Structure 1
Amino acid sequence: MSDLNLDDLADELADFAPGKKKQTTYTAREERIIAGFEDIVRFYAEHGRAPQHGEDRDIFERLYAVRLDRLRAQEDCRALLSDMDRHGLLTEPDVSSFVEADPDLDELASELADLGGEGDITQLRHVRSVEEKRAAEEIARRDKCNDFEKFKPLFEQVKQELASGARVTRPFELKAEIRPGAFFIVGGLITYVAEMDDIFTNAQGRTDARLRVIFDNGTESGMLMRSLQRQLHDDNAGRRITDPAPGPLFADRPENGEAETGTIYVLRSQSDHPFVAEHREVVHKIGVTGGSVETRISGAEKSSTYLLAGVDVVATYKVYGVNCQKLESLLHKVFAAAQLNLMIPDRFGHMVKPREWFLVPLHIIQEAVERVQDRTIIEYRYDASSASMVKR
């Protein structure tokens, strides 16, 4: 779990401030109504408008539109939510036409069944956790991006490159991936880190920085780096978008008749060795083979080279027109400072030190591969203390 920043702590401690009035106690029905309305407010913050009816609309937007109509039509609901209705959603006209405007909630519920929903959604049962509410508040604090036209071409290009395969999405791993120029997917939106202020150390001794983050719906946020990190970790669909795929050396097929040379492969060990088990996410074997990776790793559990255990292939990169042995040696030299210093007994009880295993995050290996392609790799080395590539 990510550490709280000062703003988070202030919010947590506010309830214990001297002289603070006791928080209003709501009934279970009122909590459900409030939670349901917060979903609508979140939709408004994301799209800049109230949810609307129509078969061409997203199923959740249609659900929110029906829910909003029902809330508008009930005086006790309007009274309960009046202090939270800063956008005037409950005072909009035409509060009695929801039945004709869209299918009823039973029909919408049947459409939602395929998405794993259950229960009677007319009762607005979902009461969100503190973390979900914080995420909604983060979204609500987003502002309109006044110079979005400057960024719009970037988002259009990224979408095209995702469609063509020039870019792909990968799981988010570390906050070191958050940097100016990086793209992510958060809350279903393509997210661009446009600017990053100087890095500072917060009260918990953690590094942080203020960002300018642009979203493809035309909004922006001046969130902290750790806030974006938390959102990416909390969002099961949160992803990072890779930089454009390198050129011919890493293309899907060789160009100009160039013969395929081999594959760079990255492995993770299934070993139950205590150190490997504890650091499994960053312990990787990096190699280059001119043949099949599957053939190369067959019988891994019997070889000390593979830590006498099975392995998982976590990344592969096709290479053309290069010397595999020299390329592998180059990659090993780049990561020499992070070579795993581990002695294990082989099948005959002799102590051996496996090579080609390194304590390096996967996204750093990806960066190194990209620098091999653009021929800048010789200018860099891996700095283990900062877990980053640095110029020599």
Structure 2
Amino acid sequence: MARDLNLDELAAELADFAPPEAKLGRTPREERIIAGFEEVQRFVDKHGHAPRHGEDNDIFERLYAVRLDRLREQEDCLAILTPLDRQGLLSGRGAPLTEMSEDDLAAELEGFGESDITELRYVRTTAEKRAAEEIANREPCEDFDRFKPLFTAVQADLNSGARITQPIRKDAGFLKTDIREGEFFILGGQTAYVAEVGETFKAPNGEDDARLRVIYSNGTESNLLLRSLQRALYKDDASRRVSEPNAGPLFASANEADDLASGTIYVLRSKSDNPIVAANREVLHKIGVTGGDVTRRIANARLDPTFLMADVEIVATYTLYNINRVKLENLIHRIFAPAQLDIEIKDRFGNPIVPREWFLVPRFAVDDAVARIRDGTITDYVYDPATAQLVQRG
């Protein structure tokens, strides 16, 4: 049985259901000013500080900072809002808008349209919502210890000349596809490392896009779209791309006693009876790098679609010392990419597989590539399928 409520308790219980007090005497403009100021107050309640300018801050924080500056500059707004200023926001003057460049001001005011500058809109615009999707916050990188040695090594390479930085210009053909996992860029005065590239998906404009995890040398990270990073690199006139290290002498002519064997480049020929393979058998080679024994690597080739579901024979091997196998394999595959075999193979379960390590290149071209990797000149050459040989760039 419910207990009896006295009149005071009953009034308290019903208070939540009481209609809000009508705000009398406010013009539509005054209501918008108050609503806009309340948005800023909610931001301060949540984050514990007034909104601030700066490219490293969230787009909405920057918009609120501009809004607060505008309110502080206008006497009529101060008269309306001072009685509501429970956080002392209006008394702390920010940097006046006149000290901002025209480009910075335009960026800060994006989403306010061409309406009068004294109008403050409560509802987020489409531009703001799109910015919220495309521009991610930089947050502290919790596992930065994993990445710090990479930044140290890159800086050492830049200091020694092993790496160089190259300016990024839109008209020079810098594409989203040039942003790959493991790449380094200079953005906003920080070195940025693309640590992860997510699954590709279709953007609203129909182009491919992907979500990235980008680590910055100041110990922060962001989770942003590939196209957003591309735009940021375009926008920053000082942005640069950090090159891969010069190949240098990847192989020693004779290994020293304290050298560590890193693996083996292998060149294989397929015994498949596939018509395409059979017609090109003498110039069709699988080129890869392994850290184990090549014979064991190919033991079950006939069950592996990457080996064209057929036995293979070893054509050549090259032993590596003190080498990053993954980077070397990627380098070799980029060199011979123009001659990559385009073929689809069904695995044991009938699933279609497109092998990526088979190339229509003669054996002597592979020998030539390895020789140029040894002497460090490989970056000056590309493979020309028409002549079946390496030719100098340009």
TM bin, normalised by shorter chain, reads 0.3 to 0.5
Identify the structure with the greater helix proportion: 1
TM superposition score normalised by structure 2: 0.35
Length-normalised TM-score, structure 1: 0.35
